[in-house]
Amino acid sequence: MTVRYTRDHEWVRLDGEIATIGISEYAQEQLGDVVYVELPEIGKAFDKGAEAAVVESVKAASEIFAPVAGEVVEINNVLADEPGTVNTSPEGDGWFMKIKVANAGDVNELMDGDAYQAFVKTI
């Protein structure tokens, strides 16, 4: 499964028509200790680029944008009780939601890991 990244530091892992979405290692480092995550309702549909979730840390609150259009089919309920999972495993157990992708081509428009790392170095 290929992981792709946005310029807003979300990642997407596509498995068939289901995209798992979270924030990158870089994003969680910038946020600091995550204390709260607000996730969308299952069944909610998003356009690409729409605000999909909110993550709050000791430093700031930040919106999480839908990197692809689609409908939420699952959320990571662990984050309600253990928001720090985003810090310890941002690109693993700290995922936010799974979306049934409306257009698989959306994923192909995102950066691969090498392009994302090069982008982060320019910040």
Q: Is the pLDDT of residue 1 over 80?
A: no
Q: In the predicted model, what is the mean pLDDT of residues 4-24?
A: 97
Domain range list for the chain = 3-105
Report pLDDT for 100: 98
Report pLDDT for 104: 86
d(CA 116, CA 82): 27
pLDDT band at 2 (very low <50, low <70, confident <90, very high): confident
Per-residue pLDDT tens digits for 30-54: 999 999 999 999 999 999 999 999 9
Rounded to two decimals, the pTM is: 0.95
Find all residues with CB under 8 Å of 114, minimum gap 6, and list them. none
Both structure tokens of 116: 């994302």
Q: Which strands form 3-5's sheet, in the order they lie side by side? A: 3-5, 10-15, 18-23, 97-101, 70-75, 45-46
CA 37 remoteness from chain centre: 12
Per-residue pLDDT tens digits for 55-73: 999 999 999 999 999 999 9
List the CATH code of the domain at 3-105: 2.40.50.100
Report pLDDT for 116: 98
Least confident of 38-42, 87-91, 94-98, 105-109: 105-109
